[in-house]
Amino acid sequence: MANTTIRDVAKKAGVGVGTVSRVINRNPAVRESTRQKVLAAIEELEFTPSPIARRLSLGKTMTVAVIAPFFVRPSYVERFRGLDTVFAESDYDFVLYNVETIERRDYCFKELARSDKVDGLLIMSLVPQNNVVRRFQNAGIPTVLVDAAHPELSHIIIDDFEGGYNATKHLINLGHRYIAYISDHMHESPFNFQPVIDRYRGYRQALADADIPYKPEYHRQGELSREVAKTMTIELLQLPEPPTAVFAYSDTQAFGALRAARELNIAVPEQLSIIGYDDIEIAEYLHLTTIRQELYDSGKLGAQMLLKVINNPTAEPDTILLPTTLIERGTTAPLPIHI
């Protein structure tokens, strides 16, 4: 019904306007029989509450912010899919903030540390410093981290050490001893992403456990792109003693490694094994052996965790550690006997 107001609903249900407001806002202090009468009146009159009025009545923005670096990367897109399924079923809208520089990160952290901006923050892959965490806490902004950790904030992380270890161990089990690792920038990155370091640590530990000497020239770092990964892989394959296997920090870089092998007429996996990380959708179509991390689930669980913190801001910080899984496809194979 056009132009139906909350007063029309109250009159139809035989209750006060305040009672209708409490039902709309899911206030538990309403008898179930009364709640049903109000809901029936809302349905019959086809009443749609004003979002602005509802926000004012709740004293909330009904909006959460999601901050992510380089959010067009496939791994972040998959996480966004997961959190969208949760927020779409909630009363909250979410706004994405892309961060590609330290200045942009600091601006977002400062601007969003205000209760009149958002009701909660979900931060991906960026670890806020202690003073920033204090700022969020003093402003009363519930904050959750995904793919990053801080002891005073609830967070969801992937066991990237395990993932890096298992990727390298898979290649070792196939007989490879000359194993390279191509990655995103480690300490050179202004964001100092922990997964880059943890996967590298897993790679080093797997080599050590198998008594395989670490070769510094086998580790190449560069911008996370197919083109850069292709260049790094070509450099590796043109070494006097080239690797027989390449572990790539991400599927995106693994695709670059595959292109490098193709340009050099090196057969994969007959002459060179390549393993990626993430298991993004296209990895299956390219038959890429990879380490699956639960990207969709991490986004979904992150959104659920944030709603939980919003509803119970005084609860102790919670931690969820998600495992990884080796997905064997067609880009890794036993080391040829003649090598």
Q: What is the DSSP letter of 168?
A: H
The domains found in the chain, sorted by start residue, are 6-58 (1.10.260.40), 63-158+295-322 (3.40.50.2300), 160-294 (3.40.50.2300)
Residue type, 116: D
Rounded CA-CA distance 60/53 in Å is 10
Quick: pLDDT tens for 162-197: 999 999 999 999 999 999 999 998 876 667 788 999
Task: With cut-offs at 50, 70 and 90, classify the pLDDT of residue 215.
Answer: very high
**Residue 23: its H or E element:** helix 17-24
Nearest alpha carbon to residue 263 among 292, 231, 287, 289:
231
User: When comparing pLDDT for 142 and 22, which is higher?
Assistant: 142
8 Å CB contact between 175 and 165? no
The number of C-alpha atoms within 13 Å of 281 and in the hemisphere containing its C-beta is: 8
Please write the tens of the pLDDT for every residue from 301-335: 999 999 999 989 888 999 999 999 999 999 999 98
3-state secondary structure of 291: strand
Q: Which two tokens stand for residue 7?
A: 């007063």
pLDDT of residue 252: 95
Task: Give residue-wise pLDDT tens across range 77-107.
Answer: 999 999 999 998 888 888 999 998 889 999 9
Distance CA 171, CA 176 (A): 6
68, β-bridge pairs:
98
DSSP state of 3: T
Entry pTM: 0.79
Bridge partners for 247 per DSSP: 181, 275
Return mean pLDDT, the chain.
90
